[in-house]
Chains A and B, each alone.
Chain A
Amino acid sequence: MTGESSYLAVVPAYNESATIVAVIEELRRQAPRFDTLVVDDGSTDDTCALAVEAGATVIKLPFNLGIGGAVQTGFLYAREHGYDFLAQVDGDGQHDSIELERLIAAMREQAVDMVCGSRFLTDDHRYPAPISRRTGIHIFAFLLSRIVGMRVSDPTSGFRLYNRRAIELFARDYPHDYPEVEAVLMLHHHRLSMYEVPVRMYTRGGGISSIGTGKSAYYMIKVLLALFVGLARRRPVAEPGDRAPVSAEHGV
């Protein structure tokens, strides 16, 4: 990895006009090596115009695809433009872009395909998630850790850095509705590696979460179904002792 590597920060945004400008400006100031791509997921407010004005590259989706479709658009863009690394940063200001450098350092040191910022590895709990959501996250963390055979403390975190192999995989196939948990499982099935770094997260700066309280139960059931069905999916074949080539099943 040399200084010539190219970095892309993908910011999925759905009606984030309150925070999007601050997020873009922080990225430019605190993570200058990243190009910023805002994927406007069919917002009905002026998120798109504000992001263009703030100097980001903006892809405006014609209608709301959900977080999975929006982030995958970022992977497609990164693949098409040959980026070496892609960081996913939420548009609501809950991630601190200054910590992207730590994700990059961890990826370099650990030689993994994805680095994930975890809010549960630090003592600094500035992210006071409601108890119901924390419980849900811990249930996923427990199941996922058993399945992939390593500790995954924060599987729903959307603060992630991916390398070229992970970009290739997820550009081809990324989960639909609530993708983060399933993406970890996919990574594991495709013999890609991940590592978690403690990060601070803030409460949302504005706007509304994509997961309302009423949808939480649906979220739990859908992700649990995806996890258990994902376990039974056909996996790419690997030679013994070898890392499998990145491949994904086609057709939905």
Chain B
Amino acid sequence: MPGRIQLVAIVGAAVLLLTVLEMVRRRRLMERYALLWLLSALVLLGLGIWSSALATISHAIGVIYPPNALFFVAIGFVLLLLLHFSSAVSRLSDQSKLLAQRLALLEERLRRQEQSVGGLESAVSSERTEELARVPPD
């Protein structure tokens, strides 16, 4: 692999790796979602440094120019990550739907309880006023 493109690949993968680690450290990224990112960054970094492995891969998949094989691997990881996030988003939207439903049911139940308690209180207080009204003033 030509020197300049190799350097670019290595620097790019290293920056990605450090960014992911830093985001985990700052809690901008949960470990659960960082693992696949870390795997991608490590593999890309590895292929960038170890160019004979990249040459083997490019030969195996019939790519003449090895750096293109790096793009191929990178796009593979991007697709994998996108699928991973789509499944995560599906799960999250399912959960938020469930939360909204539970919350709405709970609010309805609370409202009904408040109404029945309120009704009871007003009944008690009106009874009390009637009682007071019946007491003859001195």
Contact = CB atoms under 8 A, between A and B. Distances in A.
A210 to B, nearest CB: 15
Interface string B40-80: 00000000000000000000000000000000000000000
Chain A interface, >50% SS class: loop
A62 B31 contact: no
Nearest to A223: B31
A176 B102 contact: no
Contact of A225 (B24, B98, B99, B102): B24
B27 A249 contact: yes
Nearest to A225: B31
Interface in A229-252: 229, 232-233, 249, 251-252
Residue in A63, A229, A233, A252 whose Cβ sees the most chain B Cβ within 10 Å:
A229
A249 B25 CA distance: 11
B35 interface: yes
Categorize the interface residue count of chain A. 10 to 19
B contacts with A: majority SS: helix
A226 B102 CA distance: 33
B95 A226 contact: no
Given A62-B98, A62-B99, A252-B30, A221 B25 contact: no
B81 interface: no
Contacts of A233: 25
A229 B34 CA distance: 11
B98 A229 contact: no
Nearest to B34: A225
Q: Which of B27, B99, B102 neighbours the largest number of chain A CB atoms within 10 Å of its CB?
A: B27
B32 interface: yes
Interface string A125-165: 00000000000000000000000000000000000000000
A226 B27 contact: no
Nearest to B30: A176
A252 B24 CA distance: 10
Nearest to A224: B31
Interface of A: 62-63, 176-177, 218, 221-222, 225-226, 229, 232-233, 249, 251-252
